[in-house]
Amino acid sequence: MILVLIGYMASGKSTLGIILAEKLNYDFIDLDDYIEEKEGLTVADIFKIRGEIYFRKQETFYLEQVLQTEKNIILSLGGGTPCFGNNMQLILNAENSKSVYLKASIPQLVKKLFKKKSKRPLIAHIETKEALTEFIGKHLFERVQFYNQAEIQINTDHKSKNKIVKEILSKLF
């Protein structure tokens, strides 16, 4: 089975994905890392050198590639991946996959992201918590229609990593 983790940046996709992979003895793939390995460039450099359209086409290509594998995988997607092209349909139509939306509230996302915004090119330029709150609110408004199509939805606010993992596992098995 391929368990596809979707959600906004800082919702816990990679962190929880690694924990789930260890618990289930599955492989873990972060799609952005996978793309960087295949392309030989960082995601930031792909955007800079080849542009967003090229990146989004490659993202769909590599997503399809991973979804066709026969291995047991926890797949962590970039926050925007489900929102471009037909990516959400690819995820939902993949034969051996389940999608999980890790749903975090705007205040929770702001709290996590404001501290680490310098490491996130999309928000590095944002100066205040108020501006970040507005940015995330607008972004989520655009993306939530895709995220909500996930087969399983888990609210992550004020829950430990272990509690979230247990909740995901209880909905899967």
Which helix (H) or strand (E) segment holds residue 164: the answer is helix 161-172
Q: How confident is the model at residue 72 (pLDDT cuts 50, 70, 90)?
A: very high
Residue 120 is assigned to a ligand binding site: yes
pLDDT digits (tens, 9 = 90+) for 12-25: 999 999 999 999 99
Q: Which domains does the chain have, with CATH numbers?
A: 2-172 (3.40.50.300)
Residue 10 is assigned to a ligand binding site: yes
- Eight-class DSSP state of 78: P
Q: Which are the contacts of 91, defined by CB distance < 8 A and separation ≥ 6? A: 4, 6, 63, 67, 82, 97, 99
Phi, psi (degrees; rounded to nearest 5) at 152:
-130, 135
Q: How confident is the model at residue 122 (pLDDT cuts 50, 70, 90)?
A: confident
Q: How confident is the model at residue 164 (pLDDT cuts 50, 70, 90)?
A: very high
- Eight-class DSSP state of 117: G
Whether pTM exceeds 0.85: yes
Q: What is the mean pLDDT of residues 44-59?
A: 91
Q: What is the pLDDT of residue 149?
A: 98
Residue 79 is assigned to a ligand binding site: yes
Q: What is the pLDDT of residue 117?
A: 76
Q: How far apart are CA 106 and CA 104, in angstroms?
A: 7
- What is the percent of the chain with per-residue pLDDT over 70, rounded to a whole number? 100
Q: How far apart are CA 130 and CA 148, in angstroms?
A: 25
Per-residue pLDDT at 119 exceeds 90: no
Residue 32 is assigned to a ligand binding site: yes
Q: How far apart are CA 55 and CA 159, in angstroms?
A: 34
Residue 14 is assigned to a ligand binding site: yes
Q: What is the pLDDT of residue 167?
A: 97
Residue 44 is assigned to a ligand binding site: no
